[in-house]
């Protein structure tokens, strides 16, 4: 399935298909880019999927340099970016060359940042291998490294020229990692598309069983929803806030538990439940709308009960969120499944009640 992302001169295609990693070269060739490519990955991902991508690029006529970065979040540092710039220079990479990111969101963010900054920007391609990266991080052009004091603080917008999503790669994901990615798909349904949410409800068992037919259809559906939002708000001015559903409280739960207790997706699942409850408390959503969100998350094996954290500590973390404006925190609420409303005047007591209920 080919999903267009219409951004004028920065438009690109998301190709979603099982087995697509073996066809990256075919997708890339028509773009008329230079002959040099750098494939950025971590050692574990390269062992699993590197050969098929490198062979596909070589067959399509590209000369390929392979570059390994650390696994996970440690890749997103200035020291690693600097090593990458050095490697690009040594490989003779120029403005016509292409940097490809093969891996999870961390490899994508780091390689995207390197591609955005080297020679003021070279071609960039996303080859995401986690659910989170496939339906979220690889689409939209946000790239970043971390500052020792804040995640994602140093970065830029740099749209990819192409995104190739191979849903078969989820076969090797650890169970917790896999389910965590599903939380972002639920998020898309809750605030953007009731029909998509229905489909997830009907397909929950197949999704949990990683049935590739269902996984491919629903990952493609989620990519399309994210692409529509990015098309309307490329630079994260207003509408893109909708993608923060479940994240205002989710991020605060992660921070309040020092990023130890829940994965990002688990915290987002809990955030969705609490923000759904908040919408109900504010008279914005029915009890049934809340119950359906919780039930779907539960059916996907995600946590839905916030236990063992002090609501006051979570509230304090919400107030430190970088999205807070003049001390007021914008919340995205789902008045009904598939719709959203942005509110900025939520009272502390209502947030505490939603967390504690
Ligand atoms: N740019 C954006 O718009 C955006 C959006 C959301 C998240 N992010 C970023 O994404 C990052 C999180 O990404 P993530 O959840 O993909 O985790 P990750 O990139 O940290 O990867 C987690 C682990 O999974 C492994 N892995 C990846 N694919 C695998 C596969 N198919 N099989 C087995 N193991 C595999 C990796 O080697 C790594 O050890 C964070 O840094 C976050 O800030 C960016
Ligand atoms: Zn998220």
Give residue 94's pLDDT band: very low, low, confident or very high (50, 70, 90): very high
Buried b (16+ CB within 10 A) or exposed e, 156-189: eebbbbbbbbbbbbbeebeeebbbbbbbbbbbbb
Please say which residue of 172, 203, 218 terminates a domain: 172
For residue 177, tell me if it sits in a domain. no
CATH number of the domain that residue 116 is part of? 3.40.50.1970
For residue 252, tell me if it sits in a domain. yes
Please say which residue of 142, 172, 202 terminates a domain: 172
pLDDT at 239: 87
Residues 87, 13 share a domain: yes
For ligand 2, the distance from its centroid to the CA atom of residue 22, given in whole angstroms, is 28
**Which residues line the pocket of ligand 1, CB cutoff 6 A?**
42, 44-45, 48, 71-73, 76, 103-107, 109, 129-130, 132-133, 136-137, 140, 142, 152, 169, 172-173, 177
For residue 58, tell me if it sits in a domain. yes
* Structural domain boundaries enclosing 111: 2-172
Residues 302, 195 share a domain: yes
Residues 41, 10 share a domain: yes
For residue 255, tell me if it sits in a domain. yes
Residues 139, 51 share a domain: yes
Length reported for the chain: 357
For ligand 1, the distance from its centroid to the CA atom of residue 70, given in whole angstroms, is 12
Residues 41, 89 share a domain: yes
pLDDT at 197: 98
Please report, rounded to a whole number, the percentage of residues in the chain having pLDDT higher than 70.
98
Residue 52 is inside which H or E element, if any?
A: helix 51-59
Residues 130, 15 share a domain: yes
Residues 203, 156 share a domain: no
- pLDDT by residue (tens digit) across 106-150? 999 999 999 999 999 999 999 999 999 999 999 999 999 999 998
Structural contact between residues 225 and 338, judged by C-beta atoms closer than 8 angstroms: no
**What total number of domains does the chain contain?**
2
Structural contact between residues 84 and 110, judged by C-beta atoms closer than 8 angstroms: yes
For ligand 2, the distance from its centroid to the CA atom of residue 104, given in whole angstroms, is 13
Residues 188, 129 share a domain: no
- pLDDT by residue (tens digit) across 287-329? 999 999 999 999 999 999 999 999 999 999 998 876 766 667 7
For ligand 1, the distance from its centroid to the CA atom of residue 227, given in whole angstroms, is 19
Asked if residue 353 has pLDDT above 90, the reply is yes
Ligand nearest to the CA of 265: 2
For residue 164, tell me if it sits in a domain. yes
Task: Name the closest-CA residue to atom 16, ligand 1.
Answer: 104
Residues 157, 207 share a domain: no
Residues 198, 114 share a domain: no
Task: Name the closest-CA residue to atom 25, ligand 1.
Answer: 104
Residues 212, 123 share a domain: no
pLDDT at 199: 98
Q: What is 155-175 written as a DSSP string?
A: EEE---SEEEE-GGGGGGS-H
For ligand 1, the distance from its centroid to the CA atom of residue 122, given in whole angstroms, is 22
pTM of structure: 0.97
For ligand 2, the distance from its centroid to the CA atom of residue 147, given in whole angstroms, is 19
Residues 189, 168 share a domain: no
CATH number of the domain that residue 320 is part of? 1.20.1090.10
For residue 178, tell me if it sits in a domain. no
Buried b (16+ CB within 10 A) or exposed e, 233-243: ebeeeebbbbb
* Residue 144 Cα: closest atom of ligand 1: 1
* Residue 152 Cα: closest atom of ligand 1: 43
Please say which residue of 153, 172, 191 terminates a domain: 172
**d(Cα 54, Cα 265) in Å, to the nearest integer?**
31
């Amino acid at each position: 399935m080919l999903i267009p992302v219409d951004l004028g001169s920065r438009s690109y295609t998301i190709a979603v298909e099982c087995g697509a990693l073996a066809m990256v070269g075919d997708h890339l060739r028509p773009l008329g880019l230079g002959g040099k490519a750098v494939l950025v990955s971590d050692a574990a991902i390269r062992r699993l999927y590197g050969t098929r991508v490198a062979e596909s690029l070589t067959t399509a006529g590209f000369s390929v340099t392979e570059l390994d970065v650390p696994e996970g979040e440690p890749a997103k540092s200035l020291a690693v970016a600097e090593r990458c710039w050095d490697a690009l220079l040594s490989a003779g990479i120029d403005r016509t060359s292409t940097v490809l990111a093969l891996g999870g969101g961390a490899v994508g963010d780091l390689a995207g940042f390197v591609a955005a900054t080297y020679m003021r920007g070279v071609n960039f391609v996303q080859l995401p291998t986690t659910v989170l990266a496939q339906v979220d991080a690889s689409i939209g052009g946000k790239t970043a490294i971390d500052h020792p004091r804040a995640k994602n603080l140093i970065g830029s917008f740099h749209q990819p020229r192409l995104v190739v999503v191979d849903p078969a790669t989820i076969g090797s994901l650890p169970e917790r990692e896999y389910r965590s990615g599903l939380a972002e798909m639920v998020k898309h349904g809750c605030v953007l598309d009731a029909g998509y949410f229905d489909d997830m409800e009907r397909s929950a068992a197949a999704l949990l069983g990683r049935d590739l037919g269902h996984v491919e259809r629903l990952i493609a559906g989620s990519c399309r929803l994210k692409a529509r939002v990015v098309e309307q708000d490329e630079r994260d001015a207003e509408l893109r806030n909708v993608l923060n559903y479940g994240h205002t409280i989710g991020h605060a739960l992660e921070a309040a538990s020092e990023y130890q207790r829940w994965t990002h997706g688990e915290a987002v699942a809990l955030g969705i439940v609490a923000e759904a409850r908040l919408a109900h408390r504010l008279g914005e959503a029915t009890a049934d709308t809340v119950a359906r969100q919780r039930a779907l998350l539960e059916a996907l094996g995600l946590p839905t009960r916030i236990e063992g954290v002090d609501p006051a500590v979570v509230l304090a973390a919400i107030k430190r969120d970088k999205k807070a404006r003049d001390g007021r925190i914008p919340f995205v609420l789902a008045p009904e499944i598939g719709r959203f409303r942005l509110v900025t005047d939520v009272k502390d007591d209502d947030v505490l009640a939603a967390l504690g209920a």
